[in-house]
Structure 1
Amino acid sequence: MWTIPNIITMLRVLLIPVFVVVYFLDWKWAHQAGAFIFWFAAITDWVDGYLARKLQQTTPFGAFLDPVADKLIVATALLLITHTYASVWITVPAILLLAREVYISALREWMGQQGKHELVKVSFTGKAKTMAQMLALIGLLSETEYFMGIPIYWVTLGYGLLYFAAVLSLWSMVIYTLAAWKDLKNT
């Protein structure tokens, strides 16, 4: 259980309260610091997976904890941006993304119990959704439009990527549902 990848994954879970506290601090760069913590947590997701494979330290505990850690920090970030922006234009795609995560997690759990987990393994569309979602959240969390006087339009890009992630999310949900459809309808 105490492998380097598992420790990194647990660090990601422990970063969640730090992320929230920093984001709500009453200082000028709080949201940018929170976005940095979120970015760091997103990078640890890649690092722990890479190390698990490279060091041959994959474990059942890591296979369980890694997606849970991902979903917890993403759900936290989605809640923070819905609070910050208090807009239907952020809330609707955030709810779609959260609902999809709950649905796909339940579908994968159920298919695993049927011995057919391979039918709903992570697809390219799911990975693309995750990348767009992470970049959108970093941009929206940071609320940065200018960096040292140079326009970078992070928030504008964040809005676009959030909607792109929501579309990919719905599309991947359809793909996973179709892959499992035969088993779903026969129950």
Structure 2
Amino acid sequence: MRITLPTILTLFRIALIPVIVVTFYLPFKGANIVAATVFALGAITDWLDGWIARKYNLTSAFGAFLDPVADKLTVTITLFLLVQADPSILMAVVCSIIVGREITISALREWMAEIGERKHVRVALLGKIKTIVQMVAIVILLARLPKVGLPMYQFGQTLLIAAAVLTIWSGAVYIRAAWPILRGREQ
């Protein structure tokens, strides 16, 4: 197994998950800012490991497996924290949509890869836009910044709702791309 710099960055991102959780619960002023900063560091690392892997051709099978796992773990666990901090129907529904789509599309990709049709469910631009909106929303929601001319928490919620809409849309695109294969396997 080849451990490349992008894979090391992905492992670092996984190691940041307990740091996010612990800092989220620390009882000191500014812990929310620390948790948001650590999450943002992970999001930047996610972009950086992909860029390095593509630019310097440092891809590996282990890295290709681990990267989406790290993404899903980080986002899902952080969304759980956000719902606990704001146990409203809005947050529960929006976060459930995002997590539900991630599980569904991950299962779809795994199944499509198993039957040799992975190319039909590759990451698309819409999925990347969804990820950016989602990451920015999560950072804002974790930070729980006071109103600075703009109600930041509500802005973060709006961005998370936008991410959920993009989640549904991008998930539908993946399902639509896979649908002929799904239907063909039944017949």
TM-score band w.r.t. shorter chain: over 0.9
In structure 2, what is the equivalent of residue 63 of structure 1?
Answer: 64
Separation in structure 2 between the aligned mates of residue 153 and residue 82 of structure 1, nearest angstrom: 19
Separation in structure 2 between the aligned mates of residue 29 and residue 53 of structure 1, nearest angstrom: 36
In structure 2, what is the equivalent of residue 128 of structure 1?
Answer: 129
Separation in structure 1 between the aligned mates of residue 63 and residue 151 of structure 2, nearest angstrom: 37
Instruction: Specify every segment of 5 or more residues in structure 2 that has no aligned partner in the other structure, as ranges.
Output: none
In structure 1, what is the equivalent of residue 156 of structure 2?
Answer: 158
In structure 1, what is the equivalent of residue 172 of structure 2?
Answer: 174
Corresponding residue pairs, total: 184
* Deviation (angstroms), 1:185: 1.5
Q: CA RMSD in A?
A: 1.0
- What is the letter of the counterpart of residue 76 of structure 2? A
Separation in structure 1 between the aligned mates of residue 43 and residue 150 of structure 2, nearest angstrom: 21
* Deviation (angstroms), 1:26: 0.4
Per-residue CA deviation, residues 157-187 of structure 1 (Å, 9 max, x unaligned), is 1111111011111111111111100111123
- What is the letter of the counterpart of residue 159 of structure 2? L
* Deviation (angstroms), 1:123: 1.1
Matches within 5 A, 1:130-145: 130-145=131-146
Separation in structure 1 between the aligned mates of residue 108 and residue 160 of structure 2, nearest angstrom: 23
Separation in structure 1 between the aligned mates of residue 57 and residue 123 of structure 2, nearest angstrom: 20
TM-score of the two chains, using structure 2 as the length reference: 0.95
Between the aligned residues of both structures, percent identity stands at: 43
Instruction: Specify every segment of 5 or more residues in structure 1 that has no aligned partner in the other structure, as ranges.
Output: none
TM-score of the two chains, using structure 1 as the length reference: 0.95
Per-residue CA deviation, residues 26-50 of structure 1 (Å, 9 max, x unaligned), is 0011111101100000000011111
In structure 2, what is the equivalent of residue 53 of structure 1?
Answer: 54
Separation in structure 1 between the aligned mates of residue 112 and residue 15 of structure 2, nearest angstrom: 30
Separation in structure 2 between the aligned mates of residue 168 and residue 44 of structure 1, nearest angstrom: 22
Matches within 5 A, 1:96-115: 96-115=97-116
In structure 1, what is the equivalent of residue 119 of structure 2?
Answer: 118
Separation in structure 1 between the aligned mates of residue 79 and residue 184 of structure 2, nearest angstrom: 35
* Deviation (angstroms), 1:152: 4.3
Which aligned segments of 4 or more residues in structure 1 are displaced greater than 2 angstroms? Answer: 150-154
Separation in structure 2 between the aligned mates of residue 165 and residue 154 of structure 1, nearest angstrom: 16
Separation in structure 1 between the aligned mates of residue 56 and residue 129 of structure 2, nearest angstrom: 26
Separation in structure 2 between the aligned mates of residue 125 and residue 84 of structure 1, nearest angstrom: 29
Separation in structure 2 between the aligned mates of residue 153 and residue 5 of structure 1, nearest angstrom: 37
Local SS of the residue matching 1:27:
coil
Per-residue CA deviation, residues 32-91 of structure 1 (Å, 9 max, x unaligned), is 110110000000001111111222211111100001000100001100100001111111
Separation in structure 2 between the aligned mates of residue 14 and residue 104 of structure 1, nearest angstrom: 24
